[in-house]
Structure 1
Amino acid sequence: MQENGACVDVLIVGAGPVGLITAFQLAKFGGVSVRIVEKHAKSMQDAYGRAITLFPRTSEMLDQLGLADELLQSCFACRDTVTYNAHGQEVPGRGWSFMNNMKDTAFDFALVLRQKFQEEIFRNAMKKHNVQVEAPIELTSASVDHAVPLTGYRVKAVLLNHQNGTSETVRCKYLVGCDGGRSSVRQLFGIPFEGSKSEDKWVRVDGQITTNLPKPRTYCSIESPTHGNVLWAALDHGATRIGYAFTDDRAKAYSEFDEAAAVKEAIAAVKPFDITFDRVDWWTIYTVGQRVAKTFFHDGCVFLAGDACHTHSSGAAQGMNTGIHDAVNLAWKLSLVLNRDAKPSLLETYEAERRPNVQRLIQYDKDISRLMTNRLPEDWQGDPAADVNVILGEVMEEAGSFSSGLGIFYDVEEGNPLNVNSSFTCDSTPPVKPGMRGPDITLYRPGTFEATRLIRELPNEACFSVLVFAASPSNRIPGTSEDVYESSLDLDELVGMGRLKFITILHERGPSPYEQLGNDPLGRVYYDGKNDKDAYRRYGIGTSGGIVVLRPDGWIGTILALDDNATDRLEEYFGEVCFRQI
């Protein structure tokens, strides 16, 4: 064994999408050394079971990271859904129909791109920041030295190189396990994986097909009496995925279930429609239970993300989405702490925010996976003769805003300084609150009045943003909103650290922001510009103006009134998060 004591800030184990996105962000944000290792060589990695679908909120977050454009070049943008009953008749309002209501976003579609191609994009982006996957490298042991203080090199990890048989000892400040349902990181630290192992088996087959199905290039479900609720998903590069439940009676028909058997059952599953596989790209049969790790954050320096800390069926197509949400939530917090721009306690908010959302997914997944195998939910209290396909449609519709990601929120609770109750009051029920996603509003640039989107103007650089919605001229009160523009400059240290940026949004278009405000604006200026004042309306801001703090990941931190106390409240908010005194 090589005891060279190599040191790195963050060691990431597992180079699937979750590990790659985590490593990419840390490298992109800067000031942090990172290594990412993978037990399997890339040729083996390609053979893994692969996710295909990114829902709108995930796409928005990847857009903020500068990754969406490449994904859009290769993906199949799926905007259409259809459900067929056992007789081949179209049935509205069932299956994946919730996808028709994914609005209020530029990404109002399912971004379908097989994991193999997504990973290639993520790897190439990571390489631009001089980080590459090291494979085949296996984590064989890991321990925490509690004598070393937090943010020190507390973790000792031993890595085995399967190519040459040598071992290397690495010390890191943080270890992140992104290594799947059989996570070595989770097992090495004895973290319980709680839940139940599903008895349900699922088959997925990808390939090029010929078919007489009327709407083949859609996200489709076929209500089969023999194979459950069958998934038919149009894929990138003209391919199609067929997915079905592998029931006991199907299993008994085969002494060995191989590719030929998977294709034969896929042909039977989509009846009364016909398909011919011109080519099979990949197939798998798998069993996944609903399990959640006892902790996502161990000993103050070990994290779990993605399937390493929660597993569920692919019934709701949430696996990769949830994992990427984990990665985006974690990476900017790690970056701020490692760069000494935030208190180490900020890392405790990772599990506090992610666990409730994982538990919501698990509950939905339990019901959806049973219904997709033609069984009612375990705790079903209704009519025992209810049509499982009707109930499935109702459950998926109920889960729609969660599945799209647009309705995912982080609770305002004691001990979490990131989500703070508003001092801003709205005449009616506010459309957004702290802990909710910040809407991606349309804005207009000064002078040219060119349209742009808020997300494009606020890339995720591990930086907080303060949106100053200026009061309309008739509602601007001397000694209040003007003072915000002067006294908010007390936050210059955070701006200078690159951890805070201001954007001023004006109520109406004009020839000069200075003339409209009567002073220099804070940060870059944009106009709402639409006749219905859509930007102000989406954030619940009236003519008296207001201030919205956006976290680096695009969720709302707090909303403040534009008054004499605004600067004090901003300083109080950032004082709870920042390591350095303002």
Structure 2
Amino acid sequence: MRLNMRSETAKIEYVDVLVVGGGPVGLITAYQLARNLPTPHKVKIIEKHPKSAQDQYGRAITLFPRTSELLDQLGLADSLAQQCFACRETVNYDKDGNEVPGRGWSFMENMKDTKWDFALVLRQKYQEEIFRKALKQHSIDLHAPCALVAVETLDNVGPNGYKVVATIEDRTTGARSIIKCKYLIGADGGRSFVRRAMGIPFEGSSSEDKWVRIDGVIETNLPKPRTYCAIESPTHGNVLWAALDHGATRIGFAFTAERQKAYPEFNEEAAIKEAIASVKPFSLSFQKVDWWTLYVVGQRVARSFFVKDCVFLAGDACHTHSSGAAQGMNTGIHDAINLGWKLSLVLQGLAKPDLLYTYESERLPNVHKLINYDKDISRLMTMQLPASWQGDPNADPNADPNEVLGTVMAEAATFSSGLGIFYEPDSILSLTQSSGVSSVLPGQRAPDISLKKPATFEPTFLQTETPNVARFYIVLFAGDVSHIKPSLAAFSTSVSRHRWLFEPDTPISSISILSGGGGPSAYETLDGMPFGKVFYDEDKSGHERYGVDVCKGAIFVLRPDGWVGTVLELGSDAVNSLENYFKRFLTLNAGPKL
């Protein structure tokens, strides 16, 4: 769909990327581009709501471990941690107020294999403040209130051309102007103007279920109020009780058709009254209400996340669902980070434009997994068995939805925490070239491991040493050097003959990890110059976590976003395999044939 509302006299501004939407997804996308793109690349971000409206309380609250890791690699997580409520404890109460272990949010107590082993709870208001401040440090301001009111895509525009013509309107003055951009990113929420203007179907449905969420400062006799808590209410479904930042608490519950009959108009007073009823047998009173909402539960997915070779959708603009599993902002941030580094490399001419198609091919399957999961979760939280339950001949039609909910959430634990999210093997980014080399495979998250720096033996982490700056990392697990010197020598000889692959103008960095406590000189340990930066795996736990035999070693390519690209055997053929991997999507300078 094209909307051509250009004025012949309108001012025209040229930018590389126009980001529409000033929520976390838009801000993080713009931040990555601003951080990674050198001058004179230009990024602009607009938001139709005034800043005061954007700063309201409410909306999303929870970041799970994988999201925190991703933000940490962007240099943003520490600021979030300064203000957050770090939730490591959960509790589940039945209708009589008795604790029932193993139900509700109990999976959150087993989110290990990461230093971010907790739910980072910080309301969206405060997250956005942090992201806007980080963006401003790169000389980019959020333009608000400023709305996209028309968009047109141009045909027959060559590579790296300005394919999109956008009309924007200053909501304060009413003035309109034209922006020509190479790429347009719609991060403008569930009612996305970008999605509608491009005619992208938003497929799915809304249910008859309604939920209430209310935030505020409370008093209660609930025994463990500063937790992520579930209360199995016979009248309000599986009630969410979440300790928030700044001493506040969120209560969330199902607002059934039966309960709705009592309220010709549902207002804040009604929300408070229902919240008090939802947490019985415990008492609840509000000292202050920060925010409340009533919304309809549903699930929808855009048919395409990338159209016309120049327009992207991210976050709620391309997928919406309930807040039952607290995945909304997490999934949107994963979209933003997946897209950010890819677009950064393409705009710099370091990657082929075809790389951008992997955004949809990687994100869409994971969104569908979430949607299917959310359909079950949202029904169970309203005390209904999943639709698939009726089609299972072995299912108990009288099963307790609370028990089933606990089982479903436990089964989906690694997906919910994000630590188990993976991208299917393909012929581009998640490339299988060797088998049996490690237990961590292409397409899986690269686990964080503790390391020590040479000479000083200062502790550090692999994810700390592999920040997301739109660069790939070749990580050599060198194992026990005394056992694998021949393989290391063969690899080093091959590298020295093909230095062009590792030149500074390629978006590739190198790291060597040696098992053991290390000596006074990495050069002497290796009998030569190390491959990239050197770190020690003192107790060999890093090699063990990756399933690497210390007597054989292995090579991993880590993507900028911290997923494994490919895994290789250590030896003379490894550089050939590295070129085979990178030439699929990077525009490498023509060096010697390997």
TM-score range, shorter chain: over 0.9
Per the alignment, residue 438 of structure 1 pairs with 446
Q: Does the residue aligned with 1:198 lie in a helix, a strand or coil?
A: strand
The C-alpha deviation readout for 1:351-395, integer Å capped at 9, x for no partner, is 000000000000000000000000000110211100000000000
The aligned amino acid for 2:330 is: N
Shift, 1:249, TM fit: 1.1
The structure 2 residue matched to 1:15, chosen from 22, 30, 41, is: 22
Give, as a single letter, the amino acid of the residue that structure 1 aligns with 2:55: D
Q: Name the CA distance, whole Å, in 1 between partners of 2:453 and 2:318.
A: 43
Q: Is residue 2:35 matched to residue 1:28?
A: yes
The reply to whether residue 390 of structure 1 matches residue 403 of structure 2 is yes
The aligned residue for residue 281 of structure 1 is: 290
One-letter identity of the residue aligned with 1:367: D
Partner of 1:547: 555
Post-superposition CA distance 1:227-249 (Å, at most 9, x none): 00000000001110000011111
CA distance in 1, matches of 2:499, 2:42: 28
Q: Does 1:455 align with 2:466?
A: no
3-state SS, counterpart of residue 207 of structure 2: coil
For 2:299 and 2:153, the matched residues in 1 are separated by: 29
- Picking from 493, 499, 504, the partner of 2:507 is 499
Match of 2:3 in 1: none
Matched with 2:421 is: 408
Measured in 2, the distance between the counterparts of 1:454 and 1:518 equals: 24
Q: 1:471 offset after TM fit, Å?
A: 4.0
Matched, 1:168 2:177: yes
Decide whether the 8 Å contact of 1:288 with 1:312 is kept in 2. yes
Preserved contact between residue 479 and residue 513 of structure 2 (Cα < 8 Å): no
Q: Deviations over 1:266-312 (max 9, x none)?
A: 00000000011011011111124110001000011000000000000
Residues of 2 paired with 1:471 and 1:451: CA distance?
A: 19
Residue equivalent to 1:483 = 490
Is 1:328 aligned to 2:337, yes or no? yes
For the residues of structure 2 that align with 1:560 and 1:354, how far apart are their CA atoms? 25
Match of 1:151 in 2: 160
Alpha-carbon offset, residue 49 of structure 1: 4.5
User: Alpha-carbon deviation of 1:448?
Assistant: 2.0
For residue 420 of structure 1, what is the amino acid of its counterpart?
Answer: L
Match for residue 431 of structure 2? 420
Structure 2 SS opposite 1:83? strand
Q: 1:398-446: per-residue Cα shift (whole Å, max 9, x none)?
A: 11000000000001124xx1110042524xxx43100000000000111
Q: After the TM superposition, which residues 210-221 of structure 1 pair with which residues of structure 2 at under 5 Å, given as runs?
A: 210-221=219-230
CA distance in 2, matches of 1:491, 1:342: 19
Q: What's the offset of the Cα at 1:3?
A: 2.5
* Distance across 2 between alignment mates of 1:105 and 1:80: 16
490-499 or 87-96: bigger deviation: 490-499
Structure 1 residue 143: deviation in Å? 1.2
CA contact (8 A) 2:57 2:123 kept: no
Cross-structure match for 1:266:
275
Corresponding residue number in structure 2 for 1:6: 13
For structure 1, which segment, 279-288 or 46-55, has the greater mean C-alpha deviation from structure 2 after superposition? 46-55
User: Could you say if the C-alpha distance between residues 94 and 303 of structure 1 is closer, same or farther in structure 2, counting changes exceeding 3 Å?
Assistant: same
- What is the CA–CA distance in structure 2 between the aligned matches of 1:510 and 1:348, rounded to whole Å? 46
**How far, CA to CA, are the matches of 1:109 and 1:197 in structure 2?**
32
The counterpart of 1:38, out of the listed 26, 37, 47, is 47
Q: CA–CA distance in 2 between the matches of 1:188 and 1:536? A: 50
Q: Which residue of 2 aligns with 1:182?
A: 191
- Match of 2:167, SS? strand
Q: Which of 376, 394, 400 is the aligned partner of 1:367?
A: 376
- 1:566 equivalent in alignment to 2:574: yes
- 2:210–2:296: 8 Å Cα contact kept in structure 1? yes
1:235-250 equivalences under 5 Å are 235-250=244-259
Moved more, 396-405 or 485-494: 485-494
Which amino acid is 2:505 matched to?
M
Q: Aligned partners of 2:584 and 2:316: how far apart in 1?
A: 32
**1:41-190 to 2 correspondence within 5 Å?**
41-47=50-56, 49-190=58-199
> Which range is displaced more, 54-63 or 1-10?
1-10
Contact map agreement 1:53 1:111 (CA 8 A) in 2: yes
- Contact 1:305–1:327 (Cα < 8 Å) also in 2: yes
Is 2:317 aligned against 1:304?
no
What is the CA-CA distance between 1:44 and the residue it aligns to? 1.3
**Paired residue type of 2:371:** I
Classify the secondary structure of the residue corresponding to 2:232. Answer: strand
SS in structure 1 at match of 2:335 = helix
CA distance in 2, matches of 1:123, 1:515: 47
Ranges of 4+ aligned residues in structure 1 off by more than 6 Å: none
- Structure 2, gaps ≥5 residues long: 1-6
State the shift of 1:491 in Å: 4.7
How many residues are aligned here? 574
Question: Please, which of 521, 536, 549 is the counterpart of residue 543 of structure 2?
Answer: 536
1:493: Cα distance to partner? 5.0
Deviation per residue, 1:511-532 (Å, 9 max, x gap): 21111111100111000001xx
1:494 offset after TM fit, Å? Answer: 4.9
Is the contact between residue 29 and residue 461 of structure 1 (CA under 8 Å) also seen in structure 2?
A: yes
SS in structure 2 at match of 1:210: strand
Q: Percent identity?
A: 60
Distance 2:344 2:116 in 1: 27
1:43-62 CA distances to partner (integer Å, 9 max, x unpaired)? 11123741000000000000
Counterpart residue identity of residue 14, structure 2: C
Once the 2 structures are TM-superposed, how far is the Cα of residue 112 of structure 1 from its aligned partner? 0.2
1:479-503 per-residue CA deviation (whole Å, 9 max, x = no partner) reads x321322432525455412511101
Q: AA paired with 1:549? A: V
Which of 193, 204, 209 is matched with 1:200 structurally? 209
Amino acid at match of 1:423: S
1:337 counterpart (334, 346, 349): 346
1:291 corresponds, among 293, 300, 304, to 300
- Give the corresponding residue for 2:361: 352
The aligned counterpart of 2:478 is 470
Q: Is the 8 A contact 2:57 2:291 kept in 1?
A: no
5+ long unaligned stretches in structure 1 = none
Shift of 1:472: 1.8
* Aligned partner of residue 387 in structure 2, secondary structure: coil
Asked if the contact 1:424/1:546 (under 8 Å) is kept, the reply is: no
